[in-house]
Amino acid sequence: MFGIFKKRTYQIDFSEDNKEQFTTLLTEIHEILRDSAYSAQANWMMQILSTVDKEDQEGFKSKVISAELLGGAGSVVDVYLDDEESRNRLGYLMNTFLRLVIKSGLNHRAVKSRIY
């Protein structure tokens, strides 16, 4: 009737430039998480990278807009690293990644709410 219950669809831009940026960001985030013993979160980032490689729009959306990435305690965005340099680098990379997600077409309120 008014579109209240209409499921919103997103078109993700998997252009070569965006795929290259996603790959760079996700790989570095994965490495920081892996080296800091956050293996579950590191694995989640590799799953997102896999959806980018396959250009799987639905998979990408479901992996990005998830409790594992954007949720509360234990999610990737809420990881706390003791090493200040790594913590700052991870925060920068996550913000850059989330901005790229929005720029690429997944303009979702859950993504916007996690950018700082």
Domain-embedded: residue 2: no
pLDDT above 60 (res 2):
no
Our count of domains for the chain comes to: 1
In the chain, pLDDT over 70 holds for what percent of residues? 93
pTM as predicted:
0.91
Question: What is the residue range of 21's domain?
Answer: 16-112
Q: What backbone phi and psi angles, to 5 degrees, belong to 100? A: -65, -40
Domain-embedded: residue 10: no
Domain-embedded: residue 3: no
Domain-embedded: residue 79: yes
CA dihedral for 46, 89, 18, 14, sign (positive or negative): positive
Domain-embedded: residue 52: yes
Domain-embedded: residue 83: yes
Domain-embedded: residue 85: yes
Mean pLDDT in residue range 32-52: 98
Burial class (CB in 10 A: 0-12, 13-18, 19+), 1: exposed
